[in-house]
Structure 1
Amino acid sequence: MQLQSLPALSDNYIWTLAGADGRALVIDPGEAAPVLAAAGQGLRPGAILLTHHHHDHVGGVPELLRRWPGLPVYGPDDDRIATVSHRVGDGDRIELAQWRFDVLAVPGHTLSHIAFHGHGHLFCGDTLFSLGCGRLFEGTPAQMLGSLDRLAALPGATRVCCGHEYTRDNAAFARVVEPGNEALERRSEDIQAMRDRGQPTLPSTLADETACNPFLRIDVPAVRDAVAAHARGEAQDRVTLFAALRRWKDGFRA
């Protein structure tokens, strides 16, 4: 299957995954224009997948449905997304034409956030970013940590297709948290080179993330020690350490 990232808005990605018949899934279209432009180059949408209700992930759906009436829209069971025609939740499986995707509940960024895993790809919206994770707008630290643990348990070769190009800024924070991580140093150099060439840093792989992403490394002694020191000893168990790491990132400026 052919994966493509369509830049949208200021730093979003709309993902498409095309099968052998040329039809493609469209994931999190925050605006319609990039999808319509890709259609002019041959893209044939077969369905839309939505991870959560935020406008920069769903804003383009009404216009796309005007262009392709009847296009199925899969998304979380959340009344804030009026355009969903097929509401799905944890444990559901989408079987449509050549596609097979498992639905995973990953609350934290929002309470109804879901991810789609299939064909070696993970479409995770704003739950997991390359070298980071989403802000906790609705969920709790325990929920987000549980969601990230769940994603980290997927096969290491899984391609992580998240919703934003935040990787370079996330790398700057990760290097402060774990300055002795050689894999992170190499990844940071690659990221800078890609951005200098105007290339996306995504998708990454789960193996890269578990080796470099501090939010997936809360059990690593160097990360635990750095977070505990920054929190002045107030954070001790996994959840409080994760919460302190997320607060640290919220206030971080490169």
Structure 2
Amino acid sequence: MRLTEKVVLITGAAGGQGRREALLCAEEGAIVIATDVNVQALETLETELRDVSDKDHMTMIHDISKEIDWQRIVTEVKERFGRIDVLINNAGIIGNVESYHHTTIDEFHRVMDTNVWGTYLGMRTVILVMKEQQAGSIINVSSIASMIGLGLSPYGASKGAVRSMTKSAAGDFAKYNVRVNVVLPGFIETNMIKDQLENEQRHDWYVEKTPLKRIGRIDDVAPAVVFLASDESQFMTGAELVVDGGVTAI
């Protein structure tokens, strides 16, 4: 198995892409600590994780925009397992899909607090454990909205910041043997864009923009995350792994 006995902390793990990543990590032998704000969905995920393997998996309530939550989570995981091998900063929100001049200041702050501040706090807190153990892999989840203009304000801006932070952290953390990479999904069938996909015109637009002519699935993204979590990518840091069916290639 590719993640045997690795302690993997993943945020936003209760639904969609995060849930699949958590389950695939468990299938690959990891001890999974899954965090989210959705209590009911976490309870369901906990059962699913235990069905996958008999590892000592954990689910924890976690608001990633709160520093005190990160400190609590990391302290508890360190005390219980002695280490954190992988951090997957998966949690994020799309916010209201509005143009810049229609986006409210409060809405802009809400998206940035979750997507940017939450990712920053995760790296800032977990690196203290990884520095001590002189090993680790951090995977941030950005989006192709950080690469091309899709009219997704402030989501695109927040994901651009995640890309930039990944590069900076990769250079900074390399001396501790900690790798930091980023996954950039394209149009993926998750609850985040469920309403848009139910609109036939919008759905067809997504397909038309994708050279492989289909909407991406969560099973297209999760293996990329597992690869970056595993030792198979041990010479990769600061890398961008684009999973978009070719959207950004043309």
TM-score by length of 1: 0.33
* Structure with the higher fraction of residues in helix conformation: 2
Bigger radius of gyration, 1 or 2? 1
TM-score, length of structure 2 as denominator length: 0.34
